């Protein structure tokens, strides 16, 4: 949470910082700010609200400078306000800081400094870093930052500027992401790659308790003992366009539309390079149990995977919310494979679950989208989804990419465990390979969903039901809808409705019914009839041609035929479009839903 960016180079920093903040806004959007070194002091402009408010303020109070830092905030300590916005400048106006993370001992540090006469301007934990840097400044900003970092407890990614060393930007991190970007005209720091992709694709990933000293003519890396570190740059394969809207009204719609390509690339990745070698080399005979842990939509992908793995591999699979995992003393041993799923690779709870699993001796395998992220680095094995940068807060293409990698992993495991015949394996792989085309077919005909969704803006509550794997994808449909449309929604297993929830069904309640499990079609349709007879309207999403029975209370979106276990990939596309168009018809800020941030790096 919170996005930071910095630049030291030959060009004006401000335009690039603001442009980078636009790409980072998904990490937080309560307030934003920029600081540059110039004219014998810091120029600082900070503004509560969205980035557009900062841009407007910069028109009235323009800044210019060749070394600068910027920040977009998701408030943790102190309300969203101008004064609590970053960058924070020490009371002596010598040091400016941007921070992502939480300084857990900030109260102690603050009162220590207050006793020494330092006056604080904000209620944030972050200001303590700027004040401490000024307090300890020894004439060497590198030594100062190391000394300060050694006093901090909690998590941080920091960009620090000092007026006495105006050409230098210092960056340091612990448990929050930070990358360094290298370009001909200057060098960058950023919370992630999309922020600087327009300017460079050569990046170095900063490790915990490593320090980067950024100047126009180069970047040096140090350990906290001031030992120089060698960090050869890596080339990011993402194109600059992948972090732009390219004509779409929202990143979310662009990312939904990209899914056929993402599915194709991710399927291909499982047959080549690093992904293939992980899939081929995992010794599945060692495991007697799989535990899948993740948060939010990634967790929902894990719930889908539980059905697929259990059906194909006949191996018990548990799913655990990563935020609960470490507090329940999970039963793990070296025969347990813990599978962690994360788009960002930086979700604090998933990182903690990974560390817990490793501490307990379990084998760890992560499915991650962001190369160089903490989870990718720390998991024993890692598979990468080929989704490219995902900018919209609500995940779509990364979720779909996770699903296909999970299917392919399950088929591979099953084949190794000999729970499938060769013929069955071939048929399953062919079904997965057909998914991109089928997703494209759905995306070519969005008119019905768009029209249906436009009539749904007035609902106070929408229910999603399904059975078996349809229930798993109902969870994702419900989450997607509520997070971007602000309509209350819940997902239930179809058979569970009559145990309580059916009392909420009244005239014209909308129930979205997922029905791609052929075996259970009759059962879920009975549940649909039960709600229709109590006045509900039903949106049926499934692949049976017998669904539309002429009932005026029932509308069907017909899915292409598909293997039951992989049908969530097609239902997901419709559910994403449904949520998107409901929110679009409500005129909401779809890419940045209120209170949310994409990369949840705090507990
Ligand atoms: C919902 C959504 C979130 C994320 C969750 C985990 O649309 O995007 O629920 O799935 O915060 O994030 P990652 O996958 O980055 O660990």
> Tens digits of per-residue pLDDT, 79-93?
888 889 999 999 999
Predicted confidence (pLDDT) at residue 546 exceeds the cutoff of 80: no
In this predicted model, what pLDDT tens digit does every residue of 340-362 receive, in sequence order? Answer: 999 999 999 999 999 999 999 99
Per-residue pLDDT band at 513 (split at 50, 70, 90):
very high
Higher pLDDT, 229 or 546: 229
Predicted confidence (pLDDT) at residue 121 exceeds the cutoff of 70: yes
Between the CA of 491 and the centroid of ligand 1 the distance, in Å, is 18
Q: What is the pLDDT of residue 241?
A: 82
**For ligand 1, is residue 293 a contact (CB within 6 Å)?**
no
Alpha-carbon dihedral angle through residues 386, 389, 394, 398, given to the nearest 10 degrees: 10
Per-residue pLDDT band at 387 (split at 50, 70, 90):
very high
In this predicted model, what pLDDT tens digit does every residue of 257-303 receive, in sequence order? Answer: 999 999 999 999 999 889 999 998 888 889 999 999 999 999 999 99
> What is the pTM (predicted TM-score) of this model?
0.88
Residue of 256, 351, 395 to test ligand 1 pocket, by largest number of atoms within 8 Å of CB: 395
**For ligand 1, is residue 347 a contact (CB within 6 Å)?**
yes
> Going edge to edge, which strands form the sheet with 488-493?
488-493, 461-466, 510-515, 537-542, 554-558
As a whole number of angstroms, the distance between CA 468 and CA 465 comes to 10
As a whole number of angstroms, the distance between CA 206 and CA 312 comes to 40
In this predicted model, what pLDDT tens digit does every residue of 185-195 receive, in sequence order? Answer: 999 999 999 99
Predicted confidence (pLDDT) at residue 595 exceeds the cutoff of 90: no
Backbone angles phi, psi at 244, to 5 degrees: -120, 160
Q: What is the pLDDT of residue 598?
A: 77
Residue numbers annotated as active site: 2, 598
Between the CA of 463 and the centroid of ligand 1 the distance, in Å, is 21
Between the CA of 538 and the centroid of ligand 1 the distance, in Å, is 28
When the pLDDT of each residue in the chain is averaged and rounded to a whole number, the result is 94
Biggest CA pair distance of the chain: 80
Extract the tokens encoding 119: 């006056």
Percent residues over pLDDT 90 in the chain: 86
In this predicted model, what pLDDT tens digit does every residue of 139-181 receive, in sequence order? Answer: 999 999 999 999 999 999 999 999 999 999 999 999 899 999 9
Extract the tokens encoding 379: 């998991």
Higher pLDDT, 602 or 315: 315
Average pLDDT of the segment spanning 577-586: 97
- How far is C-alpha 159 from the chain's CA centre? 22
Which atom of ligand 1 is least distant from the CA of 350?
A: 16
Q: What is the pLDDT of residue 367?
A: 98
Q: What is the pLDDT of residue 305?
A: 98
Per-residue pLDDT band at 548 (split at 50, 70, 90):
low
Q: Which residues pair with 488 in a beta bridge?
A: 461
> Going edge to edge, which strands form the sheet with 289-294?
317-321, 289-294, 336-342, 363-368, 381-384
């Amino acid at each position: 949470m919170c996005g930071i960016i910095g630049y030291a180079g030959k060009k004006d920093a401000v335009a690039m910082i603001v442009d980078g903040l636009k790409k980072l806004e998904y990490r937080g959007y309560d307030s934003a700010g920029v600081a540059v070194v110039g004219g014998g002091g810091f120029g600082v402009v900070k503004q509560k609200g969205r980035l557009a408010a900062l841009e407007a303020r910069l028109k009235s109070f323009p800044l210019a400078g060749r070394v600068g830092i910027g920040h977009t905030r998701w408030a943790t300590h102190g309300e969203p306000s101008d004064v609590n916005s970053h960058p924070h400048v020490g009371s002596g106006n010598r040091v400016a800081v941007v921070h992502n993370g939480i300084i857990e001992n900030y109260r102690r540090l603050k009162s220590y400094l207050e006793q020494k006469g330092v006056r604080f301007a904000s209620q944030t934990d972050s200001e303590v870093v700027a004040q401490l840097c000024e307090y300890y400044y020894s004439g060497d900003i590198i030594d100062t930052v190391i000394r300060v970092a050694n006093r901090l407890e909690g998590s941080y990614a920091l960009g620090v500027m000092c007026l006495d060393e105006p050409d230098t930007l210092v960056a340091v991190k612990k448990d929050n992401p930070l990358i360094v970007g290298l370009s001909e005209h200057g060098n960058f720091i950023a919370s992630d790659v999309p922020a600087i992709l327009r300017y460079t694709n050569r990046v170095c990933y900063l490790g915990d308790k490593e320090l980067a000293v950024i100047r126009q003519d180069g970047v040096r890396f140090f350990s906290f003992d001031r030992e120089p570190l060698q960090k050869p740059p890596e080339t990011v394969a993402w194109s600059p366009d992948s972090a732009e809207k390219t004509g779409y009204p929202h990143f979310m719609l662009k990312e939904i539309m990209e899914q056929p390509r993402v599915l194709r690339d991710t399927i291909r990745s499982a047959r080549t390079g690093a992904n293939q070698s992980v899939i081929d080399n995992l010794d599945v005979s060692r495991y007697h149990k799989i535990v899948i842990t993740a948060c939010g939509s990634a967790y929902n992908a894990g719930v889908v995977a539980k059905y697929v793995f259990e059906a194909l591999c006949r191996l018990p699979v548990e799913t655990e919310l990563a935020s609960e995992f470490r507090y329940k003393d999970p039963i793990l041993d070296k025969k347990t494979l813990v599978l962690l799923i994360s788009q960002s690779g930086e979700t604090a709870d998933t990182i903690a679950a990974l560390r817990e699993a490793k501490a307990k001796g379990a084998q760890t395998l992560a499915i991650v989208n962001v190369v160089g992220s903490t989870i990718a680095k720390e998991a024993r094995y890692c598979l990468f989804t080929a989704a490219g940068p995902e900018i919209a807060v609500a995940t779509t293409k990364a979720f779909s990419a996770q699903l296909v990698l999970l299917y392919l992993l399950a088929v591979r495991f099953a084949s190794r465990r000999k729970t499938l015949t060769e013929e069955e394996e071939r048929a399953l792989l062919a079904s997965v390979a057909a998914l991109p085309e089928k997703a494209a077919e759905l995306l070519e005909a969005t008119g019905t969903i768009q029209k249906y969704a436009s009539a749904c803006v007035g609902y106070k509550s929408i229910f999603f039901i399904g059975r078996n794997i349809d229930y798993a994808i109902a969870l994702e449909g419900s989450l997607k809808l509520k997070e971007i449309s602000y309509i209350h929604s819940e997902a239930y297993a179809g058979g569970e409705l009559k145990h309580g929830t059916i009392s909420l069904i009244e005239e014209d309640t909308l129930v979205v019914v997922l029905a791609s499990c052929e075996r259970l079609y009759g059962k879920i349709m009975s549940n649909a009839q039960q709600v229709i007879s109590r006045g509900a309207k039903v949106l049926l999403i499934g692949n049976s041609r017998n669904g539309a029975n002429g009932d005026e209370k029932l509308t069907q979106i017909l899915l292409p035929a598909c293997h039951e276990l992989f049908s969530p990939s097609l239902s997901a596309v419709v559910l994403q479009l449904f949520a998107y168009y409901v929110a679009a018809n409500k005129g909401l800020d779809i890419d940045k839903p209120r209170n949310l941030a994409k990369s949840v790096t705090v507990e």
